[in-house]
Structure 1
Amino acid sequence: MVSSFFKVQSKFKVDYAAANVKKWRSSRTGLQLTLIDQESPIVEGYFAVATEILNDSGCPHTLEHLIFMGSKKYPYKGLLDVLGNLAFSSTNAWTATDQTVYTLTTAGWDGFKMLLPVYLDHLVNPTLTDEACYTEVYHVDGEAKDKGVVYSEMQGIENQSWFISNLANKRILYKNSGYRSETGGLTKNLRTLTNKSIKEYHRDNYRPENLCIVVTGTIDEQEFLNIMTQFDSELPDLPQIPNKRPFLDTEKDLPLSKRSITSVEFPDKDESSSELLMTYIGPSGKDTVVNQAVDILGSYLTSSSVSLFNKHFIEIDHPLATSAEYYTEDYINTEINIGLSSVPTEEIDALPEKVLNLMKENCCPENFDLVRVRDLLEQAKWRFIFDTEKSSESFSTIAIYEFLYGDSDGSSLEDWMKDLREFDILEKWDTHQWLEVFEKYFIQNHPSIIIAKPSASLYKKLKIENKKLIDDRKAELGEKGLKDLESKLKKALERNDKHIPDEILDAFGQPDPSKINFVKSHSIAVGLNKDVTNDLESDSTKKVLKDTPADFPLYLHIEDVSSNFITIDMLFSSFEVDERLINYFGVFKTLLELPVVNEDGSLTPYDEVIKQLKRDTISSEITNSYKSNFDELVNLKMTVKYENYAKAIEWFHKLMFKTKFTKERVKVIVEKLVNSLPEHKRSGTTMLNSLCVKHNLTSRSLDKATDELIQEEFYKSLLEKINNDEFESIENDLELFRSQLFTLSNTRVVIVGDVSKMAQPVSLWESFISTQSKTNSVVELPQSYDVLSEEGLKKSLSCYIITTPGSESSYLDLFTTIPVEYLSDDAFKILLASEYLQCVEGPFWKGIRGTGLAYGANLYKSVELGQLYFSVYRGADVEKCFDVANEIVTGYANGTNKIDNKMIQGAISSIVNSITNSQSNAFDAASKKFFDNVLVKRGPDYNTKLMSSLSKITADDLVEMYNKYFVKLFDPMTSSCFVSCNPTKSNSIVSHFINLGYNVIVEHANVEDASEDDDSEEEGSDDSDDDDSDDE
Structure 2
Amino acid sequence: MKNYKLIETKYIDEVTSNVSVYEHINTGAKVLTLENHDNNKAFGIGFRTPPEKGNGVCHIVEHCVLSGSKKYRTKEPFMDLIKSSLQTFLNAMTFPDKTIYPVSSRNKKDFYNLMDVYLDAVFYPMIHEEEKIFLQEGWHYELENKDDELKYNGVVYNEMKGVYSSSENIVADGITFALHENSSYGVDSGGDPKLIPSLSYEEFKNYHKKYYHPSNSYIYLYGDLNMEEALDYIHENYLKDFERQEIDSKVILNDELKETKDVEITFSASKEEMKGNVDYLAQGWTIGYQDNKMDVFMRDFLSELLIDAQAAPLKKKIFELGLAEDVYAETSSSLPLDLSIVLKNTDADKKDEFVKVLRETLEDLVKNGIDRDFLQATLNKFEFIFREGGGTQKAIIYYIRALNSWLYDSSPLDSLFYNDVIEEIKSKIDDGFVEKYIEEKILNNNYSVVLSARPELDKNEKQDEELRVELQNKKENMTDEEIEEIIRKTKELDEYQSNEDSDEAKATIPSLEIEDIDEKVTHYDMEEDEIEGIKLIKTPRDTNGIVYTTISTEISHVEKSDLEKVQTLVALLGLIDTENYSYEELNNEIYKATGGIGFYPTIYVDSNDNDKFSIRLNIKMKSTSDNVARGLEIIREITENSKFDSKKRISELLFILKSRYESTILQSGHQVIASIVKSYYSKTSDLQSHLGGIDYYNFLKELTEDFENKFDGIKSEMEKIYHELFHRDDLIISLTGDIDEINNLKPEYEKYINSLKSEKYERVNYDFKPNNKNEGIYTTSNVVYVSKGYDLSKLGLDYKGDIVVLQNILNSSYLHNEIRAKGGAYGAGVSVGRNLEMATYSYRDPNLTNTLKVYDEIGEYIRNLKISDEELKNFIIGSLNAFDPLLSPAQVGDINLSRYITGLKEEDLEKSKKEALATSIDGLKSYADIFDKAMNENYFAALGSEKIIKDSQKIFKEVKSLK
Aligned to 2:733: 749
2:220–2:399: 8 Å Cα contact kept in structure 1? yes
Distance in 2 between residues matched to 1:757 and 1:95, nearest whole Å: 43
Residue 524 (structure 2) pairs with residue 557 (structure 1): no
SS at match of 1:255: coil
Distance in 2 between residues matched to 1:585 and 1:356, nearest whole Å: 39
Once structures 1 and 2 are overlaid, which stretch shifts more, 702-711 or 48-57? Answer: 702-711
Aligned to 1:490: 491
Structure 1 residues 320 and 574 mapped into 2: Cα distance closer, same or farther (>3 Å)? farther
The aligned runs of 1:494-509 (5 Å cut-off) are 494-495=495-496, 497=499, 499-502=501-504, 505=507, 508-509=510-511
Structure 1 residues 844 and 683 mapped into 2: Cα distance closer, same or farther (>3 Å)? closer
Distance in 2 between residues matched to 1:521 and 1:682, nearest whole Å: 37
Aligned to 2:248: 244
The aligned runs of 1:248-397 (5 Å cut-off) are 250=252, 252-269=253-270, 270-271=273-274, 272=276, 273-314=278-319, 316=320, 319-344=322-347, 347=350, 350-364=353-367, 366-388=368-390, 391-397=394-400
- The RMSD of aligned alpha carbons is 3.3
Aligned to 1:573: 554
Aligned to 1:657: 640
Question: How far does residue 779 in structure 1 lie from its aligned partner after superposition?
Answer: 8.3
Distance in 1 between residues matched to 2:508 and 2:787, nearest whole Å: 37
Distance in 1 between residues matched to 2:762 and 2:627, nearest whole Å: 29
Distance in 2 between residues matched to 1:477 and 1:627, nearest whole Å: 61
Distance in 1 between residues matched to 2:598 and 2:960, nearest whole Å: 33
Aligned to 2:610: none
Aligned to 2:438: 438
Report the number of matched residues: 933
Aligned to 2:52: 54
The residue type equivalent to 2:577 in the other structure is P
Distance in 1 between residues matched to 2:856 and 2:549, nearest whole Å: 45
Deviations 1:4-57 (CA, angstroms, capped at 9, x unpaired): 421222222112443222222111111122221233342222211100122112
- Structure 1: gaps spanning 5 or more residues: 528-547, 598-602, 994-998, 1007-1032
Distance in 2 between residues matched to 1:213 and 1:301, nearest whole Å: 36
1:684–1:980: 8 Å Cα contact kept in structure 2? no
Deviations 1:574-617 (CA, angstroms, capped at 9, x unpaired): 421234433312431111112222xxxxx421211111011111
1:4–1:229: 8 Å Cα contact kept in structure 2? no
2:67–2:126: 8 Å Cα contact kept in structure 1? yes
Distance in 1 between residues matched to 2:391 and 2:138, nearest whole Å: 39
Deviations 1:444-491 (CA, angstroms, capped at 9, x unpaired): 112112211111163553353244346546656799987764542232
Structure 1 residues 80 and 304 mapped into 2: Cα distance closer, same or farther (>3 Å)? closer
The aligned runs of 1:776-815 (5 Å cut-off) are 789-792=768-771, 795=772, 798-804=773-779, 806-815=780-789
The aligned runs of 1:96-175 (5 Å cut-off) are 96-128=95-127, 129-141=130-142, 142=144, 143=148, 144-175=150-181
Aligned to 2:886: 919
Question: How far does residue 419 in structure 1 lie from its aligned partner after superposition?
Answer: 6.0
Aligned to 2:404: 401
Question: How far does residue 981 in structure 1 lie from its aligned partner after superposition?
Answer: 3.0
Aligned to 1:208: 214
Structure 1 residues 674 and 166 mapped into 2: Cα distance closer, same or farther (>3 Å)? closer
Once structures 1 and 2 are overlaid, which stretch shifts more, 582-591 or 119-128? Answer: 582-591
Residue 804 (structure 2) pairs with residue 831 (structure 1): yes
The residue type equivalent to 2:294 in the other structure is V
Of the three residues 612, 616, 640, the one matched with 2:593 is 616
Structure 1 residues 77 and 697 mapped into 2: Cα distance closer, same or farther (>3 Å)? closer
Aligned to 1:765: 749
1:620–1:637: 8 Å Cα contact kept in structure 2? yes
The residue type equivalent to 2:61 in the other structure is L
Distance in 1 between residues matched to 2:806 and 2:382, nearest whole Å: 44
Aligned to 1:531: none
Aligned to 1:710: 698
Residue 941 (structure 2) pairs with residue 936 (structure 1): no
SS at match of 2:65: helix
Structure 1 residues 520 and 24 mapped into 2: Cα distance closer, same or farther (>3 Å)? farther
SS at match of 1:438: helix
1:801–1:980: 8 Å Cα contact kept in structure 2? yes
1:521–1:561: 8 Å Cα contact kept in structure 2? no
Question: How far does residue 156 in structure 1 lie from its aligned partner after superposition?
Answer: 0.9
Question: How far does residue 344 in structure 1 lie from its aligned partner after superposition?
Answer: 4.2
The residue type equivalent to 2:370 in the other structure is F
TM (norm. structure 2) is 0.90
Distance in 2 between residues matched to 1:982 and 1:419, nearest whole Å: 44
The residue type equivalent to 2:619 in the other structure is L
Structure 1 residues 620 and 626 mapped into 2: Cα distance closer, same or farther (>3 Å)? farther
Aligned to 1:532: none
Aligned to 1:977: 940
SS at match of 2:50: coil
Question: How far does residue 684 in structure 1 lie from its aligned partner after superposition?
Answer: 7.9
Counting aligned pairs with the same residue, the percent is 16
1:107–1:913: 8 Å Cα contact kept in structure 2? no
Distance in 2 between residues matched to 1:923 and 1:821, nearest whole Å: 37
Structure 1 residues 178 and 740 mapped into 2: Cα distance closer, same or farther (>3 Å)? same
Question: How far does residue 631 in structure 1 lie from its aligned partner after superposition?
Answer: 9.3
Distance in 2 between residues matched to 1:238 and 1:891, nearest whole Å: 50
Aligned to 1:859: 830
Structure 1 residues 697 and 382 mapped into 2: Cα distance closer, same or farther (>3 Å)? same
Aligned to 2:816: 845
1:322–1:672: 8 Å Cα contact kept in structure 2? yes
SS at match of 1:813: strand
Distance in 2 between residues matched to 1:27 and 1:338, nearest whole Å: 45
Distance in 2 between residues matched to 1:156 and 1:381, nearest whole Å: 36
Distance in 2 between residues matched to 1:448 and 1:628, nearest whole Å: 51
Residue 874 (structure 2) pairs with residue 909 (structure 1): no
Aligned to 2:849: 879
SS at match of 1:576: coil
Deviations 1:659-708 (CA, angstroms, capped at 9, x unpaired): 22223343443454567787678668287468547755779835314344
Aligned to 1:461: 462
Deviations 1:233-259 (CA, angstroms, capped at 9, x unpaired): 4432113xx333422xx4x33431001
Distance in 1 between residues matched to 2:30 and 2:503, nearest whole Å: 34
The residue type equivalent to 1:278 in the other structure is Q
Once structures 1 and 2 are overlaid, which stretch shifts more, 213-222 or 881-890? Answer: 881-890
Structure 1 residues 267 and 875 mapped into 2: Cα distance closer, same or farther (>3 Å)? same
Residue 963 (structure 2) pairs with residue 1002 (structure 1): no
The aligned runs of 1:23-34 (5 Å cut-off) are 23-34=21-32
Question: How far does residue 377 in structure 1 lie from its aligned partner after superposition?
Answer: 1.5
The aligned runs of 1:540-689 (5 Å cut-off) are 548=531, 552-563=532-543, 564-589=545-570, 590-597=572-579, 603-625=580-602, 632-664=615-647, 665-673=649-657, 685=669, 688=673
Question: How far does residue 869 in structure 1 lie from its aligned partner after superposition?
Answer: 0.8
1:616–1:644: 8 Å Cα contact kept in structure 2? yes
1:690–1:710: 8 Å Cα contact kept in structure 2? no
